[in-house]
Amino acid sequence: GAVLVAGTPIHEMREGQVAPWRGVNVGLVFQFFQLLPSLSNVENVMLPMDFCNTFKNNKERQARALHLLDLVDIKEHAFKKPSEISGGQQQRVAIARSLANDPPIIVADEPTGNLDSVTAQAIFELFERLVDQGKTIFMVTHDKDLARRVTRTIILSDGEIIDEYLETAFPKLNDDQLAEARKLAELQSFTPGETILAEGEQPQKCYVVSEGAVEILLREPNGQQISVARLKPGQYFEKIALLRGGAKIATVIADPGYKEIELLALESSSFSRKL
């Protein structure tokens, strides 16, 4: 496979190239802070700048570090050692350190896992502010309340990715059931305006929208078809949803307003047996 970040094929980089690239493109935030205890807080924030040789001199680096500590509301503790401040304050220093070289991406590994609920809320609100400023944040968490507040959720279960759209479509299924559903699902692509299910056709599958949208069309007594619903990613349709008095009367098409339309198709009887 391939790994591209902002168009850069990082899988092709040599080992000696990866660390400098990561130093200016990715900031890391850890559950247990990983601050060097022998350095002051401001020196911990300056460290990535030293490693990557960013900013002209030590004076500029310190000014940058103090600015970042101010950004995360911890500047008054800049010249203290990490051991002299609380866990929540140490995490703020760690976040400032992750921003040292102004990377576009922040990777946060359980950043609130070692904090009380009030402090965790404050750290998450800080992340939200960074997102508003244009940062992309990848956060690993077991906190489902926090997970509900992000723009995209990817669930891992026993090392496998559970499809986020299946999870949205079937919220009552547990992780094992969702993993089974993903194995059964077939990804299907459609062109804009293409018919997915025609009027009178008896579908044998349940479809979950994963990209683009689909339109549900009903035929009026005069023969004209009208759009009655638009389904977007995470929504699903099947034969039950398209029945009226036992006869299927709806047509489903790929929404003409989208360039790419993709559905996850689950064979209904197999899916039911698995459940």
Domain edge (last residue) among 107, 133, 153: 153
Lowest model confidence (mean pLDDT) among 27-31, 105-109, 146-150? 146-150
Question: What's the confidence (pLDDT) of residue 239?
Answer: 61
Mark whether 125 and 227 lie in a shared domain.
Answer: no
Same domain membership, residue 127 and residue 197: no
What average pLDDT score do residues 244-273 get?
80
**Overall average pLDDT of the 191-215 stretch:** 88
**pLDDT band per the 50, 70, 90 thresholds, residue 245:** very low
Helix axis angle, 41-52 to 58-71, nearest 10°: 130
* 70 Cβ contact list (under 8 Å, min separation 6): none
> What's the pTM?
0.68
Confidence class for position 249, pLDDT limits 50, 70, 90: low
Q: Are residues 36 and 134 in the same domain?
A: yes
Tell me, yes or no, whether 170 lies in a domain: no
What are the residues whose beta carbons fall under 8 Å from the beta carbon of 25, sequence distance 6 or more? 5, 6, 8, 103, 104, 105
pLDDT at 151 over 90: no
